[in-house]
Structure 1
Amino acid sequence: MGFFKKTVHHAKLNVPALVQVAAIAIIMIRCVDVLMVFNLLGWRGLLDFVQRSAQTWSLTLVFLGSLFLVFIEILCAFSVVKGRRWARWLYLGTQVVATGYLWAASLGYGYPELFSIAGSSRREIFHALVMQKLPDLLVLFLLFVPAPSRRFFRLQ
């Protein structure tokens, strides 16, 4: 063998189906979100949004923060399949941050308008926010509640 050491990487084939479904759902939810933004704004509207976001530091930070959050969520999706405990907690954290910002922006405490939910009352906004975040809540449920998911993260 001499100078060369063989490193053997064993694939973890015992990933519960619920964890796999959750990871795929995270990626698909983010992809559909991006497609819906493109559909809503179109290319011209998207370029205008990026230009508006680059006009002030606060809007630029919100825009870059939202992109960073999407990348973190996708990283979490790949990491939960590997059994990384921190990934599901980080995903929970991203959802708390995103939901909190959406709620605040919808009540008029944040910018831009794209990151807010329209509604005539707090109750209406809250209902729309819960409906919008329902897929993410389901993913969190799949990662934290079923016994096979909890056992998988405990063993890793």
Structure 2
Amino acid sequence: MSDTFREVQVTIRQAGRAPVTVLIAGITIIAIRLLDLLLSGIELGVDELLNFVHRSAQAWDSTLIFIFSQLLFFFELRCAAAIIKGKNWGRWGYIFSQIVTLCYLFVASMGWVYPEIFSISGENDGQILHRLIVQKFPDLLIIMLLFLPSTSRQFFRKA
């Protein structure tokens, strides 16, 4: 029984050694993704959410994109947990997921690929690009928290 309590204490000490910037980045990734999911569900409502899933399942290509987006969502959450634990692959995985997301949003918003399940609307290409940059700005700030401060870089070198 006493071994169990010792293991918990070690876990608490390990979590406490992460720099504040890394903890903020990891918690922010989780919070943004979960709030985005919650707000999308509230905005659409149950009927429209089910309708969205039904429309996504109409064709194989939109179904694959929908499934891939859900896998990407869970991969980002896993990367956030790995970042908090100090795993270097977590921050590189998060960058990879952001590059994939940015590329798909850009291509789908420009109308170069069909279906455009997840796209950004705008009157012209410049407006679409501006909205895309504004939408991805919080993710860029998170990446900066993971790579720019020297404490963050040292933390991931040790782990």
* 1:94-133 paired onto structure 2 within 5 Å: 94-133=97-136
CA distance in 1, matches of 2:115, 2:145: 32
Q: Residue type of the partner of 1:99?
A: L
Partner residue in 2 for 1:33: 36
Partner residue in 2 for 1:16: 19
- Pick aligned residue for 1:77 from 52, 77, 80: 80
Aligned residues: 151
Partner residue in 2 for 1:53: 56
- Pick aligned residue for 1:149 from 132, 142, 152: 152
CA RMSD of aligned residues (A): 1.6
Q: Residue type of the partner of 2:41?
A: F
Q: Does 1:67 align with 2:70?
A: yes
User: Counting helix residues as a fraction of each chain, which structure ranks higher?
Assistant: 2
* Contact 1:29 1:135 (C-alpha < 8 Å) held by counterparts: no
Greater shift after overlay, 65-74 or 41-50? 41-50
Any gaps of 5 or more consecutive residues in structure 1? 1-5
CA deviation string 1:74-123 (max 9, x = no partner): 00111011110011000000000001101111011335544111111111
CA distance in 2, matches of 1:71, 1:101: 17
* Contact 1:27 1:77 (C-alpha < 8 Å) held by counterparts: yes
CA distance in 2, matches of 1:50, 1:152: 41
* Contact 1:30 1:70 (C-alpha < 8 Å) held by counterparts: yes
SS at match of 1:58: helix
% identical equivalent positions: 46
Partner residue in 2 for 1:92: 95
**Deviation, structure 1 residue 35:** 2.1
Q: Residue type of the partner of 1:138?
A: L
CA distance in 2, matches of 1:14, 1:140: 20
What is the TM-score of this pair, normalised by structure 1?
Answer: 0.90
Any gaps of 5 or more consecutive residues in structure 2? none
Q: Which runs of 4+ in 1 moved over 4 A?
A: 6-9, 111-114
